[in-house]
Structure 1
Amino acid sequence: MGQSNQKIDIFERMPVKRAVLKQIAPAIAGQMITLIYSLADTYFVGMLNQSAATAAITVAFPMFLMLTAISNLFGVGGASAIARALGKKDLEKARQIAGISFWSGLVAGILYSCVFLFLGEPVLRLCGATERTFAIALGYARWVILIGGPFTILNTLLANLVRAEGSAMHASVGVSMGGILNTILDPIFVLPQFLGLGAVGAGVATAISNAAAMAYFICYAVKKKNATVVSLSPKNLRYTGRHIKEILAVGFPSAVQFALTVVSISVQSKFVSRYATEAVAGLGIVKKLDQLPLYFTMGVSNGLLPLLAYNYSVGNQERRKQAFHFGCTISLGFSVLCLICYEAFAPLLAGIFIEDPATIQYASGFLRIMVTAMPMMSLCYPIIVQFQAMGKAKPALVCSVIRKGILDIPISFVMDALIPLYGLMWVQPIVDTISLAVAGILYRKQNRRG
């Protein structure tokens, strides 16, 4: 394989800090572009100055986030298994895993779209859709989930597989291309001076952009079929029984975390919808701003995963630990910077997305509370990915479930009763503090075992 020496150099011989930066920089860039087009939806819909439209996107967001859970089930699991196979110089196994991951993700995406076709309307009601927001949310969700869902899943999944073999730059280019295209298309489809489709137009732009990004990765795999292990051949499905357990065991914690995030966000939106549409819109804006440190941390973690998995596989635990600690330092530093800026400029940041004074007031108050969770999140997420890189499904699952699912929903009832509306915003800081403590204990235990 033409690029194998360069990839082995990154994983084995390059100085640790340089190797980490070389892996995470493109991954972070890709995540930032993804964030930009996610923010673009809210920004251009916000230009309509209709709180109901912004609230509708917020209501539909949990169902869209579920696409990431499905993608991670096969993308993160496949990426970890591929990197460990490369560490053992088993290129054929890596190709088989890539093919199984791709086709499994495609089938799962089609099935999810079918589920939405039959259950989308009642689920949107459960997520907090009201008479003012339901029709808009359904129109938006039809495009991003029913039509664009498989594209979104395969876009993220293939980026993980490409990154797993050391081609972080190509992974970043594919994801970034989709993000840039979405940012260009959003005003064309959303704003009244152009096509004027409103929030539904944002869904159209997202579907088209993810389809384009998916096409880039497919072209990459086909063009470089002799120089990449990212094989899309359906012939690899004959090895499903041999590898699917390894893929699912590692990918399951990530999928569970995002699936439970869907439940958590839906519950939070449902609670907030009892107060005011402007409060729901404000929460939607905060959820977008909150994604900056989250996506940065995801970029760091996704870039680290192949490096950690490869070195764990070859037995170089010291290099693995050094890479992990350096990555955590970068992630924590950025989250602290975001915390300071968000606390200082909350009203200004909320005002970027909408001019409605009530929505800005809600968003500012929500943001200043919720950002206190960022430093804990910036360390907890990489620890979970570290477990996945090592193929340790049980501690990864424990941390994922604690962070999203078993604590935040019951705590939401308590906090809303103690501090109506604003108490809901304290739930994530409380949960992330607890989950980081548990993750830290499990990580120390794992390190003692080697």
Structure 2
Amino acid sequence: MAVSSEELGTKDIKKLLLKQAIPSSVGILFMSVNILVDTIFVGQWVGSLAIAAVSVVLPITFLISSLGMAIGVGGGSVLSRALGSGDKEKADIVFANQIMMTFGLASIFVILGLFFSNEMLLIFGANGNILAPAKEFFYPVLLGVPFLALSMMGNNVIRAEGKPSFAMISMIIPAIVNIILDIVFIKFMDLGLFGAALATSISYTSAFLFVLWFFIYKTELKLQLHHFKFHKKIVKEITSLSFVTFSRQGVVSILAIILNHTLYTFGGEHSVTVYGIISRMLMFALFPVLGITQAFLPIAGFNYGAKNYHRVKETISVSIKYAAVLATLIFVVILFFAKPIVSVFTTDQLVIDETPNALRWVFTASPIIAIQLIGAAYFQAAGKAKKALLLTLTKQGFFLIPLVLILPHFFGILGVWIAFPIADVLSTIVTAVFLKKEMNENLIESTDGKLL
């Protein structure tokens, strides 16, 4: 399934997108199944309160590890355009700087997390009885976060090289490791949440080891000692684009804080558990749409760097169409099978009664999110950091957070759930306006000037 970086600029767009998207989607599927099964095991074998504890901890660890994702995506954009323009030396320097930035920043944040764990957990919503199990889960997971950050960074670089199959494997391995160790540590050794955390941390390490193997034996990038020196211009370029992804995760973490506190205030501990299930389903159900978005980035970035603007526009159009069809099918499944899906996670009747309708509300606007995701991804792939940042923050930052703060005062807990589709619609409209203007004015090789 792998392609060389040069083929990103020559192969048929539809075939290329599918070739890139299938392994990307499978990788995300395994990663989301990993999180999903983890939640099911914890809910069934430890208790519904444990789901709430995990929902509090994961936004903290993902915020820290997202440094690696951010540097991987931002640097991947720079690297894709360098490969597209034939500058292999710059690509090598970019990758070396990504490694140093990721390791240094992740380590600093992990140390801060160890020293200020109680404060972090309370800020992120470890209220009442949630605090004790959250602490049990937090420490082992935190120690594995630097390995997760490096593997997430490496995964995006692998994708930027046009080798999505290897990126897929780097996501499959930790999923399998985590599921197996979950069964051993939680079910057979009865280690509870500590066992779940230990399994998660070991799985992060397994992902890092595979990524390390790839960059020793399979990469087009040939790093030498002189590449490992910070280049101010390249660091600035990586940082400006990485800031987009990290800001998105930062806003997602702020949203998690607000959601956990709001849900606890208006619905109690079980409502935090409800969102824990919904957040897992968001990643799991939308895996093919996210796979297309990931596949879109290197294709658009390479062709933008090569000034093949007609191919960039075709990639945008095809990606939106494919993602929209998949998102619509996903919504139909959620609409009709919400209750059976929820029942898999827990036997807590209060959670089972509340979650299905909440799940349907959250997924209501799924059919139109393709425009929002691909539009924001385009500006990142093209290296247009300010617009990418603006569009990336639109849903959670400009719309969803204010709506979550306001609507529950009028509609109670329902206000939290209806905030999601309203934010999706508003952010999609904003993204569509920006994207259509960009395609009509700046991708000047195109001829039809249409969004879809």
TM range (shorter): over 0.9
Task: Give the C-alpha shift of residue 239 in structure 1.
Answer: 4.2
Aligned equivalent of 1:25: 22
Q: What residue identity is the alignment partner of 1:440?
A: A
Deviation of 1:374 after TM superposition, in Å, equals 2.0
Cα deviations by residue, 1:362-407 (Å, 9 ceiling, x for unpaired): 2112101101132333331121111111001111111122222233
Cα shift at 1:39: 0.6
Counterpart-to-counterpart distance in 2, 1:90 and 1:64: 35
Does the alignment pair 1:38 with 2:38? no
How far 1:234 moved relative to its partner?
5.7
Residue 223 of structure 1: aligned partner: 217
Query: Residue 248 of structure 2 aligns with which residue?
Result: 257
Cα distance change of structure 1 residues 188 and 230 upon mapping to structure 2, 3 Å threshold: farther
Please list the CA deviations of residues 79-109 of structure 1 after superposition, one character each: whole Å capped at 9, or x if unmatched: 1111100011110100110111112111111
Distance in 1 between residues matched to 2:438 and 2:281, nearest whole Å: 34
Aligned-partner SS, 1:273:
helix
Query: Superposition RMSD on alpha carbons, in Å?
Result: 1.8
- Structure 2 residue aligned with 1:101: 98
Is the 1:162–1:230 contact (alpha carbons within 8 Å) kept by the matching residues of 2? no
- Corresponding residue of 2:10: 13
Alpha-carbon shift at residue 72 of structure 1 (Å): 2.7
In the superposition, relative to structure 1, how do residues 106 and 198 fare at CA in structure 2: closer, same or farther (>3 Å)?
Answer: same
Among 81, 87, 92, which residue is 2:89 paired with? 92
CA contact (8 A) 2:372 2:427 kept: yes
How far the C-alpha of 1:8 sits from its partner, in A, is 4.4
What corresponds to 1:287 in structure 2? 279
Q: Which runs of 5+ in 2 are unaligned?
A: 444-452
Whether 1:188 aligns to 2:151 is no
* Contact 1:49/1:354 (<8 A) preserved: no
Aligned residue among 132, 135, 146 for 1:135: 132
Rounded to whole Å, the distance in 1 between the matches of 2:210 and 2:242 is: 24
Question: Cα–Cα, structure 1 residues 178 and 346, in superposed 2: closer, same or farther, change >3 Å?
Answer: same
Q: Which residue of 1 aligns with 2:198?
A: 204
1:423 and 2:383 are equivalent in the alignment: no
1:229 aligned counterpart, secondary structure: coil
1:185 alignment partner, SS class? helix
Partner residue, 1:238:
229
C-alpha separation in 1, matches of 2:172 and 2:226: 30
Consecutive aligned runs of 4 or more in structure 1 exceeding 4 Å deviation: none
> 1:131 Cα deviation (Å)?
3.1
8 Å CA contact 2:76, 2:156 repeated in 1: yes
2:384 to 375, 383, 392: 392
Kept in 1, the 8 Å contact 2:46–2:193? The answer is no
Matched, 1:408 2:420: no
Q: 1:262 to 1:373 in 2, by over 3 A?
A: farther
Secondary structure in structure 2 of the residue aligned to 1:427? helix
Whether 1:58 and 2:58 are equivalent positions in the alignment is no
Paired amino acid for 2:259 = Q
Given that 1:51 and 1:277 are in contact with CA atoms closer than 8 Å, whether structure 2 keeps it comes out as no
CA separation in 1, counterparts of 2:225 and 2:6? Answer: 31
Structure 1 residue 341 displacement after superposition: 0.9
Higher deviation after alignment, 66-75 or 431-440:
66-75
1:245 maps to amino acid: K
Establish whether residue 114 from structure 1 lines up as the match of residue 111 from structure 2.
yes
CA contact under 8 A between 1:45 and 1:53: conserved in structure 2? yes
CA contact (8 A) 2:361 2:420 kept: no
What are the superposed Cα offsets for residues 309-362 of structure 1, whole Å, 9 maximum, x if unpaired? 111111111111112221222211121111111111111100011111111112
Q: How much does 1:290 deviate? A: 1.5
**How many percent identity over aligned positions?**
25
Residue of structure 2 equivalent to 1:166: 162
Give deviations 1:148-196, integer Å, cap 9, x for gaps: 11111111110100110111111111111111111111111222xx111
Tell me whether 1:449 sits opposite 2:442 in the alignment.
yes
Inter-CA distance 421–260: structure 2 relative to 1 (3 Å threshold): same
Deviation at 1:9, TM superposition (A): 5.1
Q: 1:371 aligns with which of 363, 366, 382?
A: 363
Closer, same or farther: CA 408–299 of 1 in aligned 2, 3 Å? same
**Does the alignment pair 1:271 with 2:267?**
no
Cα distance change on mapping 1:229 and 1:405 into 2, 3 Å: same
Deviation at 1:296, TM superposition (A): 2.8
Contact 1:70 1:108 (8 Å CA) reproduced? yes
Q: In 2 relative to 1, CA 48–403 (structure 1 residues): closer, same or farther, beyond 3 Å?
A: same
8 Å CA contact 1:68–1:255 kept in 2: the answer is no
Q: Secondary structure at the match of 2:45?
A: coil
Counterparts of 2:150 and 2:6, CA distance in 1: 28
- Per-residue CA deviations over 1:30-57 (Å, capped at 9, x if unaligned) read 1111001111210100112622111111
Aligned residues of 2:371 and 2:432 also touching (Cα < 8 A) = no
C-alpha offsets along residues 192-243 of structure 1, whole Å, 9 cap, x if unaligned? xx1112222211111101101111111111123xx52164x56423242131
- The aligned amino acid for 1:43 is I
Deviation at 1:276, TM superposition (A): 2.1
Rounded Cα–Cα distance in structure 2 between residues aligned with 1:317 and 1:68: 34
C-alpha contact (below 8 Å) 1:113/1:149 kept by paired residues: yes
SS of structure 1 residue aligned to 2:345: coil
Cα distance change on mapping 1:409 and 1:354 into 2, 3 Å: same
Structure 2 residue identity aligned to 1:299: G
Provide the rounded CA distance (Å) in 2 between the counterparts of 1:357 and 1:215.
42
Q: Give, in whole Å, the separation in 2 of the partners of 1:247 and 1:397.
A: 14
Amino acid in the other structure paired with 2:340:
L
After superposition, the Cα gap between the structure-2 partners of 1:422 and 1:61, relative to the gap in structure 1 and judged at 3 Å, is farther
| SS class of match (1:405) | helix
Shift of 1:10: 2.6
In the alignment, the residues of structure 1 paired with residue 225 and residue 71 of structure 2 have an alpha-carbon distance, to the nearest angstrom, of 15
SS in 1 for 2:398: coil
Contact 1:324 1:386 in 2 (8 A): yes
Cα distance in structure 1, aligned partners of 2:413 and 2:182: 32
The change in CA–CA distance for 1:49 and 1:422 in structure 2 (over 3 A counts) is: farther
1:149 paired with 2:145, answer: yes
**What is the CA-CA distance between 1:427 and the residue it aligns to?**
1.4
Name the SS for the 1:238 alignment partner: coil
Q: Which runs of 5+ in 1 are unaligned?
A: none
Please say if residues 11 and 310 of structure 1, whose CA atoms lie closer than 8 Å, have aligned partners that are also in contact.
Answer: yes
